[in-house]
């Protein structure tokens, strides 16, 4: 009987785990890890947030989907597929692909199902499955490529997630991981309330078990999981008077992103209401300033499972 390798099934009892790179740290002197007391998701799963994810994927598509190495892939795994916004772009760019999206949110998967069902070229070319990134519900060697976008920043254990990705990929498969590097954000005119809010936004993400600085760590994480041919690219939005229209569009997008965390941050008492209103004022001022500067970088890493 033909068995679909992407359907969840119990893990085989034994298999040698992927080689993890050794570090020079002596046994018993492990690097202390920050306590991760809570789990959570700063952006939430409201219909507004789902709409925002759709707009975000379209808005950043040129930067995220530039020359992806999936032309020879047939079975692509997308971890943290959310509302299927990236899935739709992947299926458009690679007509031979079948994409399996996994996400822990049933609400986002439901939205992905209805979004993708409306797109003719996606018909019959995607599967969606609920599950945790850290324990992927797939067997060994089920896929020949993997795509992760804005997901490692939210998982409790990015190293374990990448170990899982490696486990389910065949030898030689490419993986592309796109992630935030939130220490890079700057605005001119100087906007102190926005920076206060941003600090609270990032600290809360850390408290919730995520990592808003994970972009800078992608090289180490991939190396530590035995991936090879690792390349990281820092992609920067440096928007000033050279590109005024793009700057205006981007500031509107960024304002929406910042405000997407505001209800959760205010409710948890992480930011004072005055800081949120101050930030809104500052963002309006930056949007009106003819000499405004927006600066932000994210990191995209490409790597491969070693060939046997």
Ligand X SMILES: C[S@@+](CC[C@H](N)C(=O)[O-])C[C@H]1O[C@@H](n2cnc3c(N)ncnc32)[C@H](O)[C@@H]1O
Question: Residue 106, class by beta-carbon neighbours within 10 Å (0-12 exposed, 13-18 middle, 19+ buried)?
Answer: exposed
Regarding 209 and contact with ligand X (CB under 6 A), the answer is: no
Span from 92-100, 129-137, 193-201, 237-245 in contact with ligand X (CB under 6 A): 129-137
Cα dihedral sign, 186-192-193-196: positive
Regarding 53 and contact with ligand X (CB under 6 A), the answer is: yes
Regarding 89 and contact with ligand X (CB under 6 A), the answer is: no
The answer to whether 74 and 144 are in contact (CB under 8 A) is yes
Span from 91-99, 121-129, 149-157, 235-243 in contact with ligand X (CB under 6 A): 149-157
What residue ranges in the chain does DSSP mark as E strands? Answer: 75-79, 98-103, 126-130, 145-149, 174-180, 186-188, 228-239, 293-304
Given candidates 99, 149, 265, 283, which one binds ligand X under the rule CB under 6 A?
149
Using CA atoms, how far residue 174 sits from 146, 195, 218, in Å, is: 7, 37, 15
Min dist. Cβ of residue 115 to ligand X (A): 11
Using CA atoms, how far residue 169 sits from 162, 165, 224, in Å, is: 11, 6, 16
Q: Closest CB to ligand X among 150 and 227? A: 150
Cis? peptide before 189, omega within 30° of 0 = yes
Q: Closest CB to ligand X among 100 and 108? A: 108
Min dist. Cβ of residue 29 to ligand X (A): 29
The answer to whether 100 and 126 are in contact (CB under 8 A) is yes
Min dist. Cβ of residue 247 to ligand X (A): 23
What length does the chain have? 308
Q: How many residues bind ligand X (CB under 6 A)?
A: 20
Q: Which tokens sit at 247? A: 């700057």
Given candidates 82, 174, 261, 278, which one binds ligand X under the rule CB under 6 A?
82
Tell me the C-alpha distance between 281 and 302, whole Å: 39
Min dist. Cβ of residue 196 to ligand X (A): 23
Regarding 211 and contact with ligand X (CB under 6 A), the answer is: no
Given candidates 111, 154, 166, 167, which one binds ligand X under the rule CB under 6 A?
154
Min dist. Cβ of residue 273 to ligand X (A): 25
Regarding 113 and contact with ligand X (CB under 6 A), the answer is: no
Name the site residues for ligand X (rule: CB under 6 A).
Answer: 41, 53, 57, 80-82, 85-86, 103-105, 108, 132-134, 149-151, 154-155
């Amino acid at each position: 009987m033909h068995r679909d390798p992407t359907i969840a099934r119990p893990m085989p009892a034994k298999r040698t785990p992927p080689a993890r790179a050794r570090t020079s740290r002596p046994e018993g002197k492990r690097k202390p890890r920050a306590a991760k007391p809570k789990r959570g998701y700063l952006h939430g799963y409201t219909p507004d947030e789902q709409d925002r994810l759709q707009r975000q994927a379209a808005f950043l598509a040129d930067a995220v989907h530039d020359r992806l190495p999936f032309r020879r892939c047939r079975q692509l795994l997308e971890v943290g597929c959310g509302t299927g916004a990236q899935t739709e772009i992947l299926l458009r760019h690679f007509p031979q692909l079948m994409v399996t999206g996994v996400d822990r949110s049933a609400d986002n998967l439901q939205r992905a199902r209805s979004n993708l069902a409306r797109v003719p070229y996606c018909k019959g070319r995607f599967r969606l499955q609920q599950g945790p990134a850290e324990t992927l519900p797939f067997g060994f060697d089920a896929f020949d490529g993997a795509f992760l976008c804005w997901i490692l920043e939210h998982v409790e254990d990015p190293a374990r997630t990448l170990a899982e990705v490696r486990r389910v990929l065949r030898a030689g498969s490419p993986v592309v991981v796109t992630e935030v590097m939130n220490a890079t954000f700057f605005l001119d005119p100087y906007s102190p309330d926005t920076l206060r809010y941003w600090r609270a936004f990032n600290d809360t993400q850390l408290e919730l078990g995520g990592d808003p600085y994970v972009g800078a760590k992608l090289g180490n994480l991939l190396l530590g999981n035995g991936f090879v041919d690792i390349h990281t690219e820092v992609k920067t939005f440096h928007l000033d008077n050279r590109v005024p229209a793009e700057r205006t569009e981007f500031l509107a997008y960024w304002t929406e992103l910042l405000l997407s965390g505001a209800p959760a941050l205010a409710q948890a008492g992480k930011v004072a209401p005055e800081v949120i209103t101050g930030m809104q004022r500052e963002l309006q001022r930056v949007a009106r300033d003819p000499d405004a500067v927006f600066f932000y970088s994210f990191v995209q890493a490409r790597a491969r499972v070693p060939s046997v």
